[in-house]
Chain A
């Protein structure tokens, strides 16, 4: 019983040094964790603001809603800014 498909995607290489590809992936993992930490802290602070105890269950359950989306978008924009600059420098080179 059961059919086993491939558990992860193929892994193309984009830089001549494969270590750079690995470094980009490690950076993404870290950035994602920062986004998670920040959103959990902001959920805890929002609970505290309402005079509630920020338990794990309450933090997990509190949906900061669409109003929080600009915070996520702004973080990603800052993260990508150095890449935008790099592309612009290459255009002028």
Chain B
């Protein structure tokens, strides 16, 4: 385990031996995209919100009225086109940056692979991939989550880490906080006696948050599962470069393997809104099976299921479904994770949910989970 890194260091400024180098052109393109996203976000919250208020007879127009008003607005069409375009520009700029350096980064990955390892990587070449993962470029990411070219490929992980940084900074999130920090703060406040021996991160991607959990619980073995081979390969070497022991496995969160009661803490970060409801329900059953008595499961996700959310905010949140390659966003907003936890076998009194404001940004996190 790294002697120097702390959980607070695992934010969007984390650098390691596979971090691509930005040249002036990259900084200019990505800076342009970030400010475009911020500018469009602000324009939506001011001018478009004012437009809906001006056109409505209601004090707080509901989502359907908001949709009708914006549907007739040329300004909203232009905003949508530019917003959509900002995402396309972001991925083009990142692909330019990553692909230019890919041979050098793959050589660096090979060097890292030759070093003595602290953690482990287990890939399953014939793992079954759900159709939606093969058909969806989530958030417009070229190749989506599972794109894998050959047995050395790390590109999807490189793109995912770099894209996450630009996207969240464009949404107004700062560099000083991470999802893992938010989850650990919540756990410390609500389950101060929790001392996990084994931690599992579901849908861990390139392991950005998983590294945070390994640092937060240095006495535990930290596991992560995901279906993206290139993401996991990158995540494994990224963690090794940081001196963090992660055990990454290629598996579906609906069929994670591992013996019953194997974990004391199971986490997911923004996974549930990217799977169909039936999969979300199966994930809750697997969490119940995998947790040891006294163990805790916590899922962090988008706060779209708040029925009290004002019509304008809800409409703008649901805009993501059709416009940011999020096939299950609306389905997630309309489902109940707490019901799924109870149906999976958790005691109704042990189920919790909470809405927690970001420390370093304007967003709200949704936490939902249970103690076994």
Contact = CB atoms under 8 A, between A and B. Distances in A.
Interface of A: 1-10, 12, 14-15, 20-21, 24-25, 28-29, 31-32, 35-36, 38-40, 43, 59-64, 68-69, 72-73, 75-77, 79-80, 83-84, 86-88, 90-92
B184 interface: no
28 contacts: A1-B151, A2-B148, A3-B146, A4-B147, A5-B143, A7-B142, A8-B142, A9-B88, A9-B324, A10-B325, A14-B78, A14-B81, A28-B36, A28-B85, A32-B32, A36-B32, A39-B25, A39-B31, A43-B24, A60-B24, A61-B23, A61-B24, A62-B24, A64-B24, A69-B31, A84-B47, A88-B50, A90-B74
Contacts, number: 173
Contacts of B324: 9
Given A15-B77, A28-B86, A72 B149 contact: no
B147 A5 contact: yes
Contacts of B25: 36, 39-40, 60
Contacts of B93: 32
B82 interface: yes
Most-contacted residue by chain A among B23, B48, B79 (CB, 10 A) = B23
B27 interface: yes
Nearest to A31: B32
Nearest to B40: A80
B15 to A, nearest CB: 14
B160 to A, nearest CB: 12
B145 A5 contact: yes
B150 interface: yes
Interface residues of B, number: 67
B354 interface: no
A24 B36 CA distance: 13
A60 B38 CA distance: 25
CB-based closest 9 A-B pairs: A9-B140, A5-B144, A39-B28, A87-B47, A5-B147, A87-B75, A60-B23, A76-B35, A35-B32
Contact of B29 (A21, A35, A83): A35
Given A32-B29, A80-B43, A6 B143 contact: yes
A28 B82 contact: yes
Contacts of A2: 148-150, 153
B356 interface: no
A8 to B, nearest CB: 6
Chain A facing B: main interface SS = helix
A74 B272 CA distance: 37
A76 B80 contact: no
B43 A87 contact: yes
Given A83-B43, A91-B51, A24 B31 contact: no
B140 A8 contact: yes
Contacts of A20: 77, 81
Given A8-B140, A36-B25, A83-B82, A75 B32 contact: yes
Nearest to B36: A76
Nearest to B149: A2
Contact of B136 (A6, A69, A88): A6
B350 interface: no
B358 to A, nearest CB: 21
A14 B73 CA distance: 10
Contact of A87 (B24, B51, B88, B137): B51
Contacts of B309: none
Contact of A14 (B35, B77, B89): B77
B285 interface: no
B146 A5 contact: yes
Nearest to B93: A32
